[in-house]
Structure 1
Amino acid sequence: MINRDLIRRKIVQLTYAYYQNSNHNIDNAEKELLFALSKSYDLYNYMLQLIVALTQEAQKRYEVEVARAQREGAPEPSSRFAYNRFAVQLEENKMLADWADVKKSSWEEDIETVRKIYTAIVSSDLYASYIDGSMTKDHEEELTDYAYDREFWRRAYKTFILNNDELDALLEEKSLYWNDDKDIIDTFVLKTIKRFEPTSKADQELLPEYKDEEDRDFARKLFRATLLNCDAYQHYIGDACRNWDFNRLAYMDVVVMQIAIAELMTFPGIPATVTINEYVDLAKLYSTPRSGGYVNGMLDTIARFLISRGLIQKELPERKGGHHGPHGHKEG
């Protein structure tokens, strides 16, 4: 699950924190990086656990409503949401249950947040169309009952859990490590919902913490290269500044460019355009409004210098008029 986008993000955060800390111990910093990444995996599981908590809240309310309907001789409510096939399968999932057991994790402490989201869902047009069976009437093909239930949760997650400011604030309170993670984690949760198959039952595999050991090694090597070679990388940045005073650069811009240079020089298999575009995006996210364009031009200049000196064996498209940075695809 932990991909290179997330790794780069964490390395930007922790490199910045490293220089703010008077105790510069690289081994401790690396442990902190791996711990921060493991907390991102916890957030992934915790958001899946939220779907289960919402389902369990729905089940409690359904049982109460059924009992009332029976007492009053009224029609019984729909069980479609409370016993949504996808959500019940997730509730029984062994990997999620094992994680919750090890971490002693539960939404019980924040049941009011669960209830607010539940109320928002059952008050929505999406819920009404889901219950009456019309939710996917414009779908190209008729969905099975299971696929219909799974599609409801995909839409409900995007509508009520994605971009939920109140929920985001709660998560930040629960862990400083969850700052800025949720947008990436949400994409993994949505991917997981789409991957669920009824035949897998409780053995459905969730995304692993790391897709492979290569990504864990990428995190370690990039972070260590960034910190161990900082003087050389900052020298390249200073030279590329030309008429700029290095000391007047936005500090976060320097951090972002330092990590980008580490990646350019440490990972020959990653195209230079990919690296530059990734760190331009991070500069936009973490630094000033003007940082994207500035970091783009600076990294383009530095990469061309490294290529010209044979320090890296990479290619960049030729510049077309004026000074501007490269445009390439993003790494998946």
Structure 2
Amino acid sequence: MLNRRHIRVKVMQTIYAFKGGESDDFSKDQKFLLFSIDNMYNLYLLLISLLIEVQKRAEEHLEKKQKAHLATKDDKDPNRKFVNNQLLHILKDNTQLKNQFDAYKITNWELDSEYVDVIFREIMTSDLYKDYMTTRTSDFKEDKDFIVDVYKNIIAPNEKLYDYIEDKNLTWLDDLPTVNTTILKLLRKSKASSPDNQFTPKLYKDQDDKQFAIDLFKKTILNQAVLNAEIEKRTQNWDSDRIANVDFVLLQMAICELLNFSSIPVKVTMNEYLEIAKEYSTPKSSIFINGILDKLVKEYEADGKLTKLGRGLM
């Protein structure tokens, strides 16, 4: 679920907030880094559980209409296509998901049910829903395509849900695009016979990714003096106040990665930090960072300081 770029973003945010120096104890900051990454899985579970709660709300809605004093013929014999959606039932009946909800205490929608109502109403009034409900039966593919479209076009861009997520945990806003992409990928890949673990993905692709997060954070912090000197040598014509703090952190991390992570190709490192700068810093930051790193790489290559092995991973 987690990719290397998002790991770099998490490390950047933690270093940016770090107020100490390389000789200070940063164990609390490292714990915060890992907690911030782990908390991304909570967001994943929260949004997957929202789909299940919407299905439950649809079922409750039909039951109320059936029991109404002036129930119509359609109310008494409603179209249950959405309520019976096969993909939603796979999620609802998934034992591993239920266990994860319990383990991570995912009970938000019991307390904040109004957000379930918001999403449910938006689905019910959508053209997607109207088109889907023109028949009473469907196969798994139609059910799956409908839920993918609902998530992509109704849930993911919902502003009220976005505000709710921001209020609950500020770091989740940076996690949201990655989590939404993961959920859509898993929904699209699902089959009628999908195993339970289909919807309980690993947070890290492997142990190397977790170690990468720890090592990048530690090595950047522990070598700040050397890294800062490298940056200052190449920015002598720049007023230090004009260099954005985020740019300085990204340069520290990029130089640290170039010198200390032999399995990551130079091009990968440069591209990753340029893309992060475009998203998190000023409009001209990527040009500035590219210029500094390009000079450094040429100097390091000439001095034999760059030792790269294998292809490396994103």
Q: Which amino acid counterpart does residue 181 of structure 1 have in structure 2?
A: D
The answer (yes or no) to whether the contact 1:197–1:204 under 8 Å persists in 2 is: no
Distance 1:234 1:247 in 2: 14
Alignment-derived partner of residue 101 in structure 1: 102
The answer (yes or no) to whether the contact 1:237–1:302 under 8 Å persists in 2 is: no
Aligned mate of 1:149, from 138, 143, 150: 143
Alignment-derived partner of residue 30 in structure 1: 30
Q: What CA deviation, in whole Å up to 9, does each residue of 1:112-170 have, x standing for no partner?
A: 11111111111111111111259xxxxxxxxx711211111111111012232221111
Q: Percent identity?
A: 33
Q: What CA deviation, in whole Å up to 9, does each residue of 1:84-119 have, x standing for no partner?
A: 110111111122211111122121222111111111
Q: Which of the pair has the greater relative contact order for Cα pairs under 8 Å at 6+ separation?
A: 2
Q: What CA deviation, in whole Å up to 9, does each residue of 1:250-295 have, x standing for no partner?
A: 1111011111112212221211111111111111222212112111
Q: Which amino acid counterpart does residue 29 of structure 1 have in structure 2?
A: D
The answer (yes or no) to whether the contact 2:23–2:222 under 8 Å persists in 1 is: no
Q: How does 1:66-145 map to 2 (within 5 A)?
A: 66-68=66-68, 71-74=71-74, 76-106=77-107, 107-132=109-134, 145=139
How big is the shift at 1:44?
A: 1.0
The answer (yes or no) to whether the contact 1:154–1:194 under 8 Å persists in 2 is: yes
SS at match of 1:288: coil
Aligned residues: 309
Structure 2 residue runs of 5 or longer lacking an equivalent are: none
Aligned mate of 1:261, from 255, 259, 273: 255
Task: Call closer, same or farther: CA 1:235–1:146 in 2, change over 3 Å.
Answer: same
Q: TM-score, normalised on structure 1?
A: 0.86
Aligned mate of 1:217, from 182, 189, 211: 211
Q: TM-score, normalised on structure 2?
A: 0.90
2:181 equivalent to 1:226: no
Task: Call closer, same or farther: CA 1:204–1:48 in 2, change over 3 Å.
Answer: same
Aligned mate of 1:311, from 293, 302, 305: 305
2:289 equivalent to 1:295: yes
Structure 1 residue runs of 5 or longer lacking an equivalent are: 135-143, 316-330
How big is the shift at 1:242?
A: 3.9
Distance 2:135 2:30 in 1: 51
Q: Which amino acid counterpart does residue 249 of structure 1 have in structure 2?
A: I
2:45 equivalent to 1:45: yes
Task: Call closer, same or farther: CA 1:23–1:55 in 2, change over 3 Å.
Answer: farther
